[in-house]
Amino acid sequence: MAMALALSRQAIGLSDPNPRVGCVITDAQGHLLGAGHTQQAGGPHAEVMALRDVLARGHGEEALVGAHVYVTLEPCAHHGRTPPCCEALSAARVGHVHIALADPNPLVAGKGRRHLESAGIRCELGLGADEAREINIGFLSRMVRGRPYVRLKIAASLDGRTALPDGRSQWITSPAARQDGQWWRQRAGAILTGIGTVRDDDPRLDLRLPTGETPPLQPLRVIADSRLETPLTARILQAPGKVLLVHAREATEPAALDAAPPAASTPQSHSPTNELDTARAAGTAWPAGVECLALPQTAAGVRVGAGVGAGAGVGAGVGGGSAGGVAGSGADADTRFFLAGRASSENSGATPARVDLVALMSELGRRGINELHVEAGATLNGALLQAGLVDELLVYLAPKLLGDGRGMAALGLLPDLQAAPRFELLECSPVGDDVRLRLRRPELGF
């Protein structure tokens, strides 16, 4: 199973939205016959790759009869882009299947194991389950909660500053820490940032492998930009990869707003109010690969209640992802203040519209995003934390003291210590001159 788990890690950055699965086949004495891992979506799954590898190594089909199979996730039992893996294993007449983790996908959920057992194949569940869960924690989140596993990355000084007061932040952490951050980007199906970071830092936020190789998949880059203020020249809008530009839908705006970049049109008579209007007025369009999406709006200070569902609260309901149906999703069990947006908007005197982050998470889950990597500023960080949407903190601390400067998250004034978002330490590791901390919410709900 250790070899199968190692193989499943090779599917990171390759198999999304499908789970990362490794499979090893041995004879009854434990001699290796074949091995493989999940390929890109639409390609062979781990079990099929392992079965093919048995033949590629010169073993005949008879070698599979009675063989032992070690697989890190329950073999699929449904026809999707590929046929069911449980049928391939039963057709090969293997004798024993060791499964690390049950698949919560409603299209599988025990069906794969039952199919194998009905074919007379012995199945055992649980060997290597903890590690298999960590490798596929985003897939499990999407299947059970209907939304991605959210990992919030922060680079800060020892006194918790992410930038100087004027916004300068390059570079607080070491090159080793920045390179390490690329590995965490590779795990993600999408990278989220806010309009403030786009304007202040003009980041690319694409995946750049330390090896210099072209990644098989570029994470979707998502910008939370309630008023569509992203400059058309922003580097994040450029290739490689696709961009989802999410803004708040006005109360009078139809639900089906432009889902594609604006086309050239006759200049408007009114003064442009945002980059979308500017583009239309100038007859220009968003760069290729940019999708503009309107989501429901909420205002600063709106409370997001427990168990948001259809017809109640913010972000009601969630549909299935590309790898199968999912359960409904809502906010935390605790009622929290939802704060978001730019201070400049709040100073205007009007109640500012905000992108509903719960609805955004549901939308990303519907699009098949398993892990969401967040690299944003204090405002969006605080909004996500106070909405109870952050599952994991990835914090790089540099051995520096910056004094006055920008903080990690704008949490506002907490009524008491009990209201503070709480996390448990998973890991503390040196990375170059810095320290990397990983912390997780005590209860994930899956």
Instruction: Give the catalytic positions in this structure.
Output: 47
How many Cβ atoms from other residues are within 10 Å of residue 85's Cβ? 30
Give the separation between CA 270 and CA 264, rounded to whole angstroms.
16
Name the region of 58 (left: φ>0; alpha: ψ -120 to 50; beta: rest). left
Q: Are residues 68 and 58 in contact, defined by beta-carbon separation less than 8 angstroms?
A: no
User: Which residues, at least 6 apart from 413, have a Cβ–Cβ distance to it below 8 Å?
Assistant: none
- Exposure string of 344-378, with b = 16+ CB inside 10 Å and e = fewer, is ebeeeeeebbbbbbbbbbbbbbbbbbbbbbbbbbb
> For residue 231, how many other CB atoms are within 10 A of its CB?
14
Query: How are beta strands 434-440 and 392-398 bridged, if at all?
Result: antiparallel
Q: Among 441, 16, 436, 79, which Cα is nearest to 215's?
A: 16
Total count of residues recorded for the chain: 446
Cβ–Cβ under 8 Å, residues 149 and 369: no
Helix 85-92 crosses helix 111-118 at what angle (to 10 degrees)? 20
Q: 85-92 and 46-56 helices cross at what angle (nearest 10)?
A: 30
